[in-house]
Structure 1
Amino acid sequence: MQEVVVLFCCFFVLRLISLGISLRNEKRIKALGGVQYGKVNSMLLAIVHIVFYFSCLFEAVYNHHLMLDSTSKWGLALLIFAYLMLFYVIYQLREVWTLKVYILPEHKVNKTFLFKWVKHPNYFLNILPELIGMALLCKAVFTFCLLFPIYLVILAVRIRQEENAMKHLF
């Protein structure tokens, strides 16, 4: 199997692990009376995220960009950073981290170093570097130019929804 495909599969498995954590936390949050905000937006983000990933893979296979070179190594470095940030954010938020926006009746705002200094670290230190990294790893120029702007619009709506849902907590 080619290097890029193997790495793609590794990162996809990590994404599935994060999904499992999210689903477990979501079940607990619902049981505690948590309310979800931005349901449609969360679904759109998930769909575009999956399409982005597999479009990058398709583009790599179609264009025979399956071995690591300097561009894909930059993508790999960015992906490693993005996933380290993902699991650090999960660690920091613990039981309240989900892929969706949920607010608990007794929701506590995380005030650790990362959350004090970076607004929305999951988006700016994980998701955006992850997508850029995947596009670089796969040399998926078409995917990046087409889907990244779409993702940014959906993410901007998500950030607004999250801030509106949490404004009473600040």
Structure 2
Amino acid sequence: MIGIIVAVIFIIRLYFLKISRANEKRILQEGGKEFGVKNTKYITILHILFYASCVVEHFINGTKIDTIGIIGLVLLGFSIFMLNTVVHLLEGIWTVKLMLVKNHKFNNHWLFRTVKHPNYFLNIIPELVGLALLCHAKYTAIVIMPLYAIVLYRRIKEEEKILAEIIIPNGTY
């Protein structure tokens, strides 16, 4: 059952990746730019590695859905809901990459004013924690999560710099 749930979550993530790729293509065609290419590669590798490692731990341990797994499932559901929310709020400019449209402005929605980087704190982190809990992947959490935290910290720092130097000076919408 857990394997099926992880496969469904993975398919949902592929759907959002398709949205990202379409947005990336359009952003570049309209004169936008990509930043932090190297760090994006690390994030991508670690995300795939995290999923694969969780699945391997699940199959090695033969984990079943229990209270911890249900908590993980709730976190995964929350993360998908928040991913969908962020994608819709960013109206066609959301990507998994760090990209800016030409004359990028700050989205003044209450979510972005209240939670800095909701895509990371309300989507990615709950997704990773939820997946690790669902699969009882303690070694994945111990080994890969700290590495992911480092690259996510770097991404947030890159984004903070771009926000301060480019986006905020362009105004809000």
Where does residue 120 of structure 1 map in the other structure?
A: 117
Equivalent in the alignment of 2:6: 8
Deviation at 1:156, TM superposition (A): 0.3
Q: Equivalent residue for 1:137? A: 134
Residues 88-103 of structure 1: pairs in structure 2 closer than 5 A: 88-103=85-100
Structure 2 spans left out of the alignment, 5+ residues: 169-173
Aligned counterpart, 2:40: 42
- 1:15-47 CA-to-partner distances (Å, cap 9, x unmatched) read 101100000000000001111110000010011
Structure 1 length as normaliser, TM-score?
0.96
Structure 2 letter corresponding to 1:152: A
Q: Which residue of 1 aligns with 2:171?
A: none
Give 1:104 deviation, angstroms.
Answer: 1.9
Q: Which residue of 1 aligns with 2:30?
A: 32
Q: In 1, Cα distance between the equivalents of 2:160 and 2:129?
A: 24
Structural mapping, 1:56-135, within 5 Å? 56-65=54-63, 67-135=64-132
* Alignment gaps of 5+ in structure 1: none
- Whichever residue aligns with residue 83 of structure 2, its letter is L
Once residues 106 and 113 of structure 2 are traced to their aligned partners in structure 1, the CA distance between those partners, rounded to angstroms, is: 10
**Given residue 106 of structure 1, which amino acid in structure 2 is its aligned partner?**
N
Task: Note the alpha carbon deviations across 1:95-139, whole angstroms, 9 max, x for none.
Answer: 110001111221121110110100000000000000000000000
TM-score, L = length of structure 2 = 0.95
Contact 1:22 / 1:99 at 8 angstroms: preserved in 2?
yes
Q: Whole-Å Cα distance in 2 between the matches of residues 104 and 93 of structure 1?
A: 11
Shift of 1:76: 0.2
Counterpart CA distance in 2 for 1:166 and 1:27 is 22
Aligned residues: 167
Q: Find the residue that maps to 1:91 and give its secondary structure.
A: helix
Match for 2:15: what amino acid? I
Q: Is the 8 A contact 1:103 1:166 kept in 2?
A: no
In the TM superposition, what whole-angstrom CA distance separates every residue of 1:38-59 from its partner, at most 9, and x where no partner exists? 0000010011000001100000
Distance apart, 1:167 and its partner CA: 1.5
Separation of aligned partners in 2, 1:27 and 1:36:
11
Q: What SS is found at the alignment partner of 1:98?
A: coil
User: Secondary structure of the equivalent of 2:102?
Assistant: coil
